[in-house]
Amino acid sequence: MKFTKTAADPRSAARAGVLETDHGQIHTPIFMPVGTVGSVKGVHHRDLREDIRAEIILGNTYHLYLRPGLDTLRAAGGLHKFESWERPILTDSGGFQVFSLSPIRKLTAEGCTFRSHIDGSRHTFTPENNVDTQRIIGADIMMALDECCPGDADHAYARKSLDLTKSWLERYAKRFRETEPLYGYNQCFFPIVQGCVYPDLRREAVDHAVQFDADGYAIGGLAVGEPTEKMYEMLELVCPLLPDDRPRYLMGVGTPANILEGIARGVDMFDCVMPTRNGRNGMLFTWQGIMNMRNAKWAQDFSEIDPDGTSFVDHTYSRAYLHHLFVAGEMFAAMLASQHNLAFYLDVVRQARAHIEAGDFAAWKEDAVERITRRI
């Protein structure tokens, strides 16, 4: 994998670049739709490719490992062939899912033992078998196994958690070097920088991670309960410490405003379930602000959903029609809202990239954040 920085904003840490993989180029900054179990919920691949123009999507190791399972994925020739997606894929290691399942998991120096949320069966992830699992899944970009420390953890817990993550990273990197891709194309892995909201731990995590000379670096353990200001503070600390010639991926973040603020602090890659999850519940993100489509105020509003946007939904269906679909309980409502929100998120990062290249990102971002955070 190769990353080339192509532009930088003179008044912020924002940058534009191109990430090259064997499944295609990724233009950064980029938002990556989440396809947890092999699909982006409610969205056809045709729409992801043609209208939303997603350049990369995510899969999740925890969920794919449990279902459909490794035997099926290997027999299919990997996740790309199994889900008929020819562009790049990134897989989370499953560490966050295990973190969220705290009542039914146990962490040890060896790895993480957990019970399936599907049938209660017992499983263990180690750094070694996590590499093997992601080799079978076949993602272009693999995430190292880590513990996602809660955002409100005290320093003692965060210290212990980081020590575990560092130990797992060393074993993960060793296993990665000892193994080969299974399907004839290259794979890379990103270490995950943890450390909660403690500057000393975050610096230590970066110092340790960069020793592996990885193709990119992820920043984890943010947007997991800490104040938003702390998240931005940690980004301002961590991003300048990471190599300038490698992509930086902020995991699981977030709102469109979070993404713009992350770009301003030097982040290149983002993912979040928010556009599809909130869309299914009637929340739309637009350049005019945030809309609750269940609100009766839209019942006879026949204007476009987002006149200032470029989503294909905007120019086909009215606010009144989408409101009607939600009130009627039609599944088409969730599909259209999810498609719109993903198109909007991709529009946000594309416009950010254009303003970075034009050299006026910082000023544009201030106005954009004010507009997209309004409630209308």
How far apart CA 21 and CA 89 sit, in angstroms, is 10
| Phi, psi (deg, nearest 5) at residue 132 | -60, -40
Check the CA dihedral 192-193-197-201 and report its sign. Answer: positive
If you ran DSSP here, which 8-state letter would residue 232 be given?
H
- From the list 47, 51, 268, 271, the catalytic residue is 271
* Residue in this structure with the two tokens 């062939």, named with its chain if needed: 81
Q: Is there a catalytic annotation at residue 119?
A: no
User: Which of 9, 26, 29 is closest to 141 using CA atoms?
Assistant: 26
Catalytic residue, chosen from 92, 215, 306, 347, is 92
Tokens 């201030």 belong to residue: 366
Whether the Cβ atoms of residue 255 and residue 274 lie closer than 8 Å to each other = yes
User: Where would I find the beta strands (DSSP E) of the chain?
Assistant: 2-8, 15-21, 24-28, 30-32, 57-60, 89-92, 105-107, 112-115, 122-125, 141-143, 188-190, 192-193, 217-219, 248-250, 269-271, 283-286, 289-292
Element (H, E) at 46: helix 45-50
Quick check: is 244 catalytic? no
Place of tokens 């699909």: 39
Cα gap 246→144, rounded to integer Å: 16
Q: Strand pairing of 122-125 and 30-32?
A: unpaired
Which structure tokens are listed for 84?
């008929």
Looking at 187-265, list the stretches that DSSP marks H as alpha helix, in order from N- to C-terminal side: 199-209, 228-238, 256-264
Active site residues: 92, 271
